Copies of this chain bind each other. A is one copy, B any other.
């Protein structure tokens, strides 16, 4: 998962983008980058690490101009190297172009094979470079025309920002899997993965970029175009953004994330009440809003039974032998006064492998909980996402091969219940017709080719 942010038409473009990326930091902490332009040259600064560490004041000073795009990238296995950082900036014949991409293409193997056969050389393992190669080989009367031709060849999910010294183009795939919103700050156009970043830079939210829409900002103002790829394509926005990924203070796909999560919690309470429960607690922070909804609908008291540490770092040294499994303990710790001798309903956003949930149940029981009933704010996650959410293989998804009862036993929970798919659809406006829920249903809106057997024979030791 990633986040993108762009500004067209404000002299503090790179500073605003820096702020915007800060507000989108939850969408990716592996690397960050900004490309800015003064109308002539593209200036680029990218590094591994978080936004606050990647940019010093002098770095922003060296990114002049009234337009900029930025990117934060999520850490995924095996590809954590600088050359995969974005925005990706290159010089094509007669043009400089920078691209920031949130999403995941599904026809990369075929496209890459075709390009390599024609002599293209790849330097990274990211989809963005593939888009650049297609751009380089696609002639056209204008950059917009070239971009449109290229996008028609892409399958899968993308919310893209493409910048030249003269234009900023925003594009969203026809299904609109990943979010992208348009804002306004005085005369400037602002684009962001989520609306929370607009608020931080004091821009107002204009509207979402629509699925299949191409927005072009340049000296002539802002114009909207259609990809026209397939008029019959229905929107399939990612419901998991609402469940887990987006920030609760964002408005997403036309709805407030916090509201959706509370609605989910309320429905979960109706579907799966716990009769003798004493208290409802969330797994912080992502379970908080659903737990509040659950507590309010059930009339049970809401308490903060698990404290989340602000300092749970990425690199942590485990003692050799006698003490084990500190991963969850360093992040979460129980408040005994809340839990001891209580029948506890604990609400979490989802279960992936089940290992963390199992540790949480054990932690609550060690802290004295009489019973632990786990309630999950979505249906069982049975299928991997191929459109940008970093889920593991199907084999690692515990719900793909175990019943809810089996999972409950594994977790050592006294009961376990998932929100029904029907309940989820009713918690969001438009439900089935507007959202992708393939991770719960296996119904993929865009077909997924067989898993790629490609193995790179080039290893960067960085």
* Chain A residues proximal to chain B, CB less than 8 Å: 12, 15-16, 18-19, 22-23, 25-26, 29, 40-45, 50-53, 55-57, 59-60, 62-63, 89-94, 96, 113, 116-123, 132-133, 136-137, 165, 196, 199-202, 247-249, 251, 256, 258-259, 285, 288-289, 292, 296, 301-304, 307, 309-311, 313-317, 319-323, 326, 329-330, 333-338, 456-462
Nearest chain B CB to A150 CB, angstrom units: 12
Contact of A336 among B113, B249, B319, B336 (CB under 8 A): B249
CA–CA, A251 to B334, complex, Å? 12
- List 6 A-B pairs, minimum CB-CB distance, nearest first: A52-B313, A119-B137, A93-B116, A15-B319, A256-B337, A119-B136
CA–CA, A39 to B117, complex, Å? 23
Nearest chain B CB to A48 CB, angstrom units: 12
The answer to whether B302 and A292 have CB atoms under 8 Å apart is yes
Nearest chain B CB to A134 CB, angstrom units: 9
The answer to whether B89 and A335 have CB atoms under 8 Å apart is no
> Of all chain B residues, which has the CB nearest A136?
B119
A26-B311, A304-B288 are known contacts. Are A42 and B256 too (CB-CB below 8 A)? Answer: no
Contact of A247 among B45, B56, B117, B307 (CB under 8 A): B307
The answer to whether B120 and A136 have CB atoms under 8 Å apart is yes
CA–CA, A313 to B49, complex, Å? 13
The answer to whether B22 and A311 have CB atoms under 8 Å apart is yes
**Residue picked from A92, A259, A289, A459, most chain B C-beta under 10 Å:** A459
A-B contact pairs, 27 of them (CB 8 A): A12-B320, A15-B323, A19-B319, A22-B316, A22-B330, A23-B309, A25-B311, A26-B310, A29-B311, A41-B457, A42-B458, A60-B317, A91-B457, A93-B116, A93-B117, A119-B133, A119-B136, A120-B120, A120-B136, A200-B326, A200-B330, A247-B333, A249-B334, A249-B335, A256-B337, A289-B304, A292-B304
CA–CA, A62 to B288, complex, Å? 42
Beyond the given A19-B326, A50-B313, please list 20 additional residue pairs across the A-B interface where CB-CB is below 8 A: A16-B319, A22-B330, A25-B309, A29-B311, A53-B313, A90-B121, A93-B113, A96-B457, A116-B136, A119-B120, A165-B457, A199-B333, A200-B333, A202-B323, A248-B307, A249-B333, A249-B334, A249-B336, A258-B304, A292-B304
The answer to whether B322 and A12 have CB atoms under 8 Å apart is yes
In the complex, what residues of B have CB within 8 A of residue A116's CB? Answer: 92-94, 136
Contact of A12 among B321, B334, B461 (CB under 8 A): B321
A50-B311, A249-B336, A323-B15 are known contacts. Are A57 and B304 too (CB-CB below 8 A)? Answer: no
Nearest chain B CB to A190 CB, angstrom units: 12
In the complex, what residues of B have CB within 8 A of residue A50's CB? Answer: 311, 313
CA–CA, A380 to B444, complex, Å? 59
> Of all chain B residues, which has the CB nearest A314?
B52
